[in-house]
């Protein structure tokens, strides 16, 4: 692990408006890369530029200066102190700054299969999408409550506000490009990819398209991190070209491939998931018998009707735990679980921890496991 003391000094200088030199930037980028952040030294420079520009709005970060001034003025800064400062820094950083930017591009080369998390991505108030393209190795992403494998022939698109985790898988590690972007209205027809889970779409590419996509992303990445690059319109055009290539992989009737009765069922569940709906209610809304709906829904979506409803409930609950100050009991009631004990049991069953543990763990914004900061970090 890169020395945390050097990294802490870089971050402390940043919140005073001092942009680090190339050597210090490399040290900090290497540190975060070892914790699982999809960031290299060049994209870290974009992070530092954006952070310094946002300092007037980063009030929690500014509050760290007087608290730590004496410590950093000492000639010797201990590693325990450095780690604590980094923890407080990440907790205080307003990561929503980054998803509000029109475009962020990154590349990650992971030697180990440690987690690389983009979960709780984005902000539904900001139309920020995430695209992840695997170059080599294997990754796993959880869309809602479902796990799917990522290979070099796959590309994933995540809608704003979606609960998603990504992690490396296997001894080969995981290498990938990622792009956070705001969706132009003219691009929306290009984004009707097959659903892999709530808010997550996935395409499997042929070899020719995968190679072309890799080249386009490489150019987009190099343009993005090159301070001498041309106008931002070039990035916009490259991204549009990328989305068009992906759209060309879709069948001509891809947007209509889902049975309209299942579309009606999903729409009904999407609108009423927090209420006490039954299989019979959904069947009536889709003009199917309950037994026929059950078979069709499972075949078309990969989940049962009630599992899909529960998935929406838990995804929304997880978002509220991270992005609101509501009491846990109130969150459970809001998403359809009025009994807190039952809400806690089903939440733990599917997410591996209680709602309280989830809120505490992920709200700490530890860069290795935080759910939304890596979506917004460069």
pLDDT in tens, 127-136: 678 898 988 8
Q: CA 293 to CA 308: how far, in whole Å?
A: 13
Question: pLDDT-derived band of residue 269, with 50, 70 and 90 as boundaries?
Answer: very high
pLDDT in tens, 190-202: 888 887 776 788 8
Question: pLDDT-derived band of residue 377, with 50, 70 and 90 as boundaries?
Answer: very low
pLDDT in tens, 298-347: 888 778 999 889 988 988 898 788 778 899 999 999 999 999 999 999 99
87-96, 99-108, 281-290, 308-317: which has the highest mean pLDDT?
A: 281-290
> Do residues 293 and 278 touch, judged by C-beta distance below 8 A?
no
Report the 3 state secondary structure along the chain. Answer: CCCHHHHHHHHHHHCCCCCCCHHHHHHHHHHHHHCCCCCCHHHHHHHHHHHHHHHHHCHHHHCHHHHHHHHHHCCCCCHHHHHHHHHHHHHHCCCHHHHCCCEEEEEEEECCCCECCCCCCCECCEEEEEEEEEEEECEEEEECCEEEEECCCEEEEECCCCCEEEEECCCCCEEEEEEEEECCHHHHHHHCCCEEECCEEEEECCHHHHHHHHHHHHHHHHHHHCCCCCCHHHHHHHHHHHHHHHHCCCCCCHHHCCCHHHHHHHHHHHHHCCCCCCHHHHHHHCCCCHHHHHHHHHHHHCCCHHHHHHHHHHHHHHHHHHHCCCCHHHHHHHHCCCCHHHHHHHHHHHHCCCHHHHHHHHHCCCCCCCCCHHHHCC
Q: CA 259 to CA 286: how far, in whole Å?
A: 10
What CATH number does the domain located at 260-363 have? Answer: 1.10.10.60
> Do residues 320 and 281 touch, judged by C-beta distance below 8 A?
no
Question: pLDDT-derived band of residue 123, with 50, 70 and 90 as boundaries?
Answer: very low
Higher per-residue pLDDT: 142 or 41: 142
145-149, 160-164, 219-223: which has the highest mean pLDDT?
A: 219-223
Query: Taking residues 222-226, what's their average pLDDT?
Result: 73
Query: Taking residues 123-151, what's their average pLDDT?
Result: 75
Across the chain, mean pLDDT equals 78
Proportion of the chain above pLDDT 70, given as a percent: 75
CATH architecture assigned to 99-252: Sandwich (2.60)
Query: Taking residues 116-141, what's their average pLDDT?
Result: 67
Domain extent listing, the chain: 4-94, 99-252, 260-363
pLDDT number for residue 7:
86
């Amino acid at each position: 692990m890169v020395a945390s003391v050097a990294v802490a000094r870089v971050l402390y200088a940043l919140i005073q408006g001092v942009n680090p030199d190339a050597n210090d930037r490399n040290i900090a980028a290497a540190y975060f890369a070892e914790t699982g952040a999809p960031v290299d030294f060049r994209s870290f420079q974009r992070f530092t530029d954006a952070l310094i520009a946002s300092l007037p709005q980063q009030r929690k970060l500014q509050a760290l200066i007087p608290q730590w001034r004496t410590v950093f003025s000492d000639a010797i800064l201990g590693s325990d102190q450095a780690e604590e400062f980094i923890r407080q820094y990440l907790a205080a950083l307003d990561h929503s700054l980054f998803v509000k930017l029109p475009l962020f591009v990154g590349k990650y080369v992971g030697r180990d299969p440690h987690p690389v998390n983009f979960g709780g991505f984005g902000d539904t108030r900001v139309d920020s999408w995430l695209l992840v393209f695997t170059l080599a190795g294997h990754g796993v992403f959880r869309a809602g409550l479902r796990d799917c494998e990522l290979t070099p022939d796959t590309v994933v698109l995540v809608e704003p506000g979606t609960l998603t985790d990504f992690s490396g898988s296997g001894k080969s590690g995981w290498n990938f490009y990622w792009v956070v972007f705001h969706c132009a209205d003219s691009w929306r027809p290009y984004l009707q990819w097959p659903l892999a889970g709530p808010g997550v779409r996935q395409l499997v590419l042929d070899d020719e398209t995968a190679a072309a996509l890799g080249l386009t992303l490489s150019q987009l990445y190099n343009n993005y991190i090159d301070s001498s690059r041309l106008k931002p319109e070039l990035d916009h055009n490259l991204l549009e070209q990328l989305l068009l290539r992906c759209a060309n992989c879709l069948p001509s009737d891809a947007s209509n491939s889902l049975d309209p009765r299942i579309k009606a069922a999903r729409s009904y569940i999407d609108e009423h998931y927090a209420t006490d709906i039954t299989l019979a209610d959904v069947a009536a809304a889709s003009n199917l018998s309950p037994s026929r709906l059950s078979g069709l829904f499972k075949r078309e979506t990969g989940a049962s009707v009630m599992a899909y409803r529960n998935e929406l409930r838990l995804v929304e609950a997880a978002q509220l735990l991270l992005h609101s100050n509501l009491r846990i009991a109130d969150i459970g009631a809001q998403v359809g679980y009025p009994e807190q004990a039952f809400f806690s049991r089903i939440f733990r069953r599917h997410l591996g921890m209680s709602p309280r543990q989830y809120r505490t763990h992920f709200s700490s914004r530890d860069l290795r496991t935080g759910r939304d900061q890596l979506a917004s970090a460069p």
